[in-house]
Structure 1
Amino acid sequence: MANWWPGDLIRIYQAMPNAIGLWGTQVGNIPAMFYGELLLAGFVLGLCNPGFCKLPIIAWALHNDPAPRTLFNWLLRGWGLQCGFLVLVFCRLGFLAKVSLDTLLWYSAFFNYICYIATLVVALLLVSDGWRLTRNSAIQPRNLQLPLIFALGFYLPGQISWMVIIGWEYDDALLQWLLLAPVMVGILCAYFLTGAIAYGVRHLVGEAGCRTWRGHIALFIGMVVLCIAVNTIVRIVIRLVS
């Protein structure tokens, strides 16, 4: 699913010229089923495709034990930042109207670099806390909230960026962003489901079990996220140097 759906998401958007020919550019002519397909594609993209900060979300829920309302509020804020930065980079307003496509893609890459660094910080904090907690379970774990929000908010997925770029061909900004909206709602639903899964795991393990195994859980998730983050950063450095 991780390999098939994100590619399908792009193919859905690339098929829009034929769809526009059938429906016209009037928003009211677009069937609701098409919006549903986009929402489902965004949901599976956010849930199954690597790079959407799912492990850090689970790590925060298990490591710092935020209240459910706090967790979901901050997930919503991180998603709001993501939407805001996406619009900021690709809205083509003001001075950005004359910026080349390559420059816009560089802006998108720069935001993603911030996301990768924040993810690396989350991993390092988890590994450090995991090591300390396995030796002394009484210490206070560090709060992962701020780097997690940076990791969520500054991530501009390549699939979404290319969808917006392809949408310029229609020369209809309202239609372009309106079709992108269900995809982003699907991603938000994926974030919320990830948070619900984290609390389900917490309920399954129990409060006493979470306190007992907090260091081991943090060490395990931290090592996994660290491997992913280091691999991504090494590939970026090689691409920039070569």
Structure 2
Amino acid sequence: MTSQSQSASTRRGALIVVEGLDRAGKSSQCEMLREYLSKGGNAVKYIRFPDRTTPIGQLIDSYLRGSANQDDHSIHLLFSANRWELAKSIEQDIASGTTVIVDRYSYSGAVYSAAKGNPTLSLDWAWLPEIGLPRPDICLFLSISAEEAAKRGGYGAERYENETMQTRVRELFRSLFGRQEDIAVIDAGKSLEEVSIDIQSVVADCIGRLDATGPLRTLGPLAK
């Protein structure tokens, strides 16, 4: 085996996060991206947050379906804890050369909690438990209006799927992303195939820059 082959075999994977309003097409695009990367010879893993299979995830699932109530602060910390449950395995997968695609991550966690309008639960407060989690190499934000999202199938099935909440969430995403790096805004109002092609282009560029990026980083405090 040549030294070049050895380098390729030990190259770390990328951490790719897909965010957006509810019904923006995140899950479909994650599946299409996984297929695209797999066909290109990449080892790929797909994760969705919240992970509803864990004990913490089951509490979150009950809350999201409206069958349980929680204090705003405590449910936020449960969402964060759910991400911390998988942090180590994400780091290990990436170190072994597997690219990890994540459907919803810390950005959603902070924004959806802050969007409730609780005066003691600001965006800055909501971000604090996320500090130290693996930092995405790229965060893809699927941009769609709240009105357009409401027209898509299944909308309204869960607690946060209403136009008022989604409009507030969109504004907070904009505020958060203005204080973060490595964010790519994707027009999700296009066809499924067009959105997928746009995503593939951004992801290919991200993976191509991994050597320059260096080791997987961690999320830090929000920029002022």
The normalised TM-score by structure 1 is: 0.33
Structure having the higher Rg: 1
The normalised TM-score by structure 2 is: 0.35
Structure having the larger proportion of residues in strand: 2
Flag the structure with more relative contact order, 1 or 2, with Cα contacts below 8 A and sequence separation at least 6: 1
